[in-house]
């Protein structure tokens, strides 16, 4: 009798939720846990593990992955891993929570790169979502992260940064300054309400980055007719390219790629590519994201028995 395919379980914990999928003979469905959030006050890993276990149990009960209750490999990709003082505690929680034969905890920066390039080879990726971070590695001696410092201190080129720049331009129009944008003032008022309420919403609300990011589509939509919005979108693309080039510096023949919803804006994407072209570089299409990268890492470990390791970026039990 042919043995059942050994199962890989991949989990990706992002800023706004948790996603889980399985891979045995083929890919399983993607399941989500709304409300599993990463907050500035800390990351409650045991609760996230419990949420993921519930999703895995639901998949098993539903027949989506009957053997997934005891996975051969569990890969846990997590935003914010680098900012934790004790990353080994995350690995211990994952090992205890799932009981997999092999367990991996990986920064979402690494998982994004592997998912985007569909390989474990020299490369660099910039992820432009609510936040923005670039990462480049040869999976040996060089592991470099650029930005990802959050919407207050960094995340240049992110949706939150573009939204913040759009609100600043709107408020300058509100104050009657010549370099403001009346177009963005009208659009942002329709979205967020009176300008007097904006500081509270984007500085003290627990979901301030997401509120800022919600303004980014207003800026990209206005770029075709509003010179200020156009300039802001071009700056976002240039900022993303600058981070990507720095992340790739020193790598031998790296694949460069980019992921994230902000790249749906042609203006942002074109500015990113134009900046890369100045350095004689080009961007390859991304084949996936962090969840796909976690699956790829898990399949590689399952099939070869080995993975690169790094004490901050990639921990293997």
Q: What is the CATH number of domain 147-278?
A: 3.30.420.40
The pLDDT value given to residue 211: 93
Both tokens of 10, joined, read: 């991949």
Q: In this predicted structure, what is the pLDDT of residue 5?
A: 58
Gap between the Cα atoms of 293 and 259, Å rounded:
12
pLDDT (0 to 100) of residue 227:
97
Alpha-carbon dihedral 90, 32, 130, 149, rounded to 10 degrees? 0
How do the domains of the chain map onto residue ranges?
8-118+288-316, 147-278
What is the pTM assigned to this prediction?
A: 0.85
Sheet containing 314-316: order of strands: 31-34, 17-23, 8-13, 73-78, 102-107, 314-316
The whole-number pLDDT of residue 86 equals 83
Task: Return the pLDDT at 88.
Answer: 87
Say if 8-118+288-316 and 147-278 have the same CATH topology.
yes
SS3 state of residue 314: strand
94-134 pLDDT, tens digit each:
999 989 999 999 998 899 999 999 999 999 999 998 889 99
pLDDT at residue 220, rounded to an integer: 98
pLDDT given for residue 291 in this prediction? 93
What is the model's pLDDT at position 42?
A: 64
Q: How far is CA 71 from CA 45, 179, 289, 290, in A?
A: 19, 57, 22, 19
Q: What is the pLDDT of residue 310?
A: 93
Give the pLDDT confidence score for residue 63 in this predicted structure. 47
Q: What is the pLDDT of residue 250?
A: 95
Q: What is the pLDDT of residues 234-246, one digit of tens each?
A: 999 999 999 999 9
H/E stretch holding 12: strand 8-13
Torsion of CA 190, 194, 196, 200, to 10 degrees: -60
Q: 146-170 burial by CB neighbour count: b if 16+ within 10 A, else e?
A: bbbebbeebbbbbbbbbbbbbbebb
Q: Which two tokens stand for residue 192?
A: 């967020």
H runs (alpha helix) in 71-158: 87-98, 108-117, 150-153
Give me the pLDDT at residue 249, please: 96
Low-confidence ranges of the chain (pLDDT < 50): 1-4, 35-36, 38, 63-68
What fold does the segment set 8-118+288-316 form as a domain? Nucleotidyltransferase; domain 5 (3.30.420)
């Amino acid at each position: 009798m042919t043995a059942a395919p050994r199962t890989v379980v991949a989990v990706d914990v992002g800023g706004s939720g948790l996603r889980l999928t399985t891979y045995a003979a083929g890919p399983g469905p993607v399941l989500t846990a709304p409300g599993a959030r990463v907050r500035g006050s800390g990351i409650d890993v045991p609760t996230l593990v419990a949420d993921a276990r519930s999703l895995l149990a639901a998949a098993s009960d539903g027949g989506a992955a009957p053997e997934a209750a005891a996975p051969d490999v569990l890969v846990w990709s997590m935003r914010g891993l680098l900012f934790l003082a004790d990353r080994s505690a995350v690995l211990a929680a994952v090992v205890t929570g799932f009981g997999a034969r092999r367990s991996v905890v990986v920064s979402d920066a690494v998982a994004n790169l592997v998912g985007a390039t569909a390989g474990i080879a020299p490369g660099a990726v910039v992820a432009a979502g609510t936040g923005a971070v670039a990462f480049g590695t040869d999976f040996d001696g060089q592991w470099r992260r650029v930005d990802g410092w959050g919407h207050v201190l960094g995340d240049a080129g992110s949706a939150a940064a573009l939204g913040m720049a759009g609100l600043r331009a709107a408020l300058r129009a509100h104050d009657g300054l010549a370099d403001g944008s009346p177009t963005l003032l009208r659009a942002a008022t329709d979205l967020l309400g009176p300008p007097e309420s904006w500081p509270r919403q984007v500085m003290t609300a627990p979901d301030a980055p997401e509120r800022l990011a919600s303004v980014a589509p207003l800026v990209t939509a206005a770029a075709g007719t509003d010179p200020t919005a156009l300039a802001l979108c071009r700056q976002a693309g240039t900022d993303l390219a600058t981070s990507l080039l720095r992340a790739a510096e020193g790598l031998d023949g790296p694949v460069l790629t980019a992921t994230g919803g902000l790249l749906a804006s042609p203006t942002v994407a074109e500015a990113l590519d134009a900046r890369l072209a100045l350095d004689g570089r080009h961007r390859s299409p991304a084949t996936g994201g962090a969840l796909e990268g976690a699956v790829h890492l898990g399949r590689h470990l399952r099939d070869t028995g080995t993975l690169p390791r790094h004490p901050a970026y990639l921990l293997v039990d």
